[in-house]
Amino acid sequence: MLIKMVPSVLLVLLVAAMAAMAASPPKPVDVPFQKNYVPTWAFDHIKNINGGNEVQLSLDKWTGTGFQSKGSYLFGHFSMQIKMVPGDSAGVVTAFYLSSQNAEHDEIDFEFLGNRSGQPYILQTNVFSGGKGDREQRIYLWFDPTKAYHSYSVLWNMRQIIFFVDDVPIRVFKNSKDLGVRYPFNQPMKIYSSLWNADDWATRGGLEKTDWSKAPFVASYKGFHVDGCEASMPNSACPTLGRRWWDQKAFDDLDGLQWRKLKWVRNRYTIYNYCTDTVRYPARSPECTRDRDI
């Protein structure tokens, strides 16, 4: 009987070991807006609700608005729960991103592009490193982002940047410095969010204009999770580099389940990927193979 049980025990141990190697970030911790963020412009267009546990950003014909983190961070996990502008949101962009302040800046972008009523939102992501961007990817979401809050997060360490929607990885950008591709590693970044009018490009390349009769346009936020190594701008390295949970080997790569989820997104929901745009980029970027975009 003992002999028959051994394979089952080994299987359980193997599954447990595989689970231990999974690269899912810890669950975000919800905090009030004012703990980690401050308004940056058009303060009267930001409304605090429930003691700052939620905020609403509004856009009208005169101005949008935005906020930024109090600190600058070098690596970590950054998450925001957002409910997008409902109804006719053509021309309206809701942005959530990290950015450094230097001329050759680094940036990690979520941009949610509004659409006419009944048409789906488009989520555009991009990565800038050393001032170079042009790495756009666009997807449809598998849910209506105006009906309820969903989590949008970034995991950033020395080896990879992962974009998550809820617990689904929608994009990975690997450190391909050995291939000649610059990677964000030494410029601390602040976290930003904004609601603004971009009807010159956001919806159908600018063909669909913002309908100001539908204003004000309102996006809602909560969560405000920040778990990063805070660093002042002059610093080139974080003092805890190598000692945080995101530095551990389990976060060197996606696990098998995460790669399958990413493949599902690419197969079903991706509508644009710079890696496959041979008209715009005849010479394929070196990181595309490592990131499994092709």
Catalytic residue IDs: 107, 111
Alpha-carbon separation of residue 147 from 9, 108, 198 (angstroms): 45, 26, 23
Nearest to 71 by CA among 221, 229, 240: 229
* Cis peptide bond prior to 234, omega within 30° of 0: no
Q: In angstroms, how far is the first alpha carbon of the chain from the final one?
A: 50
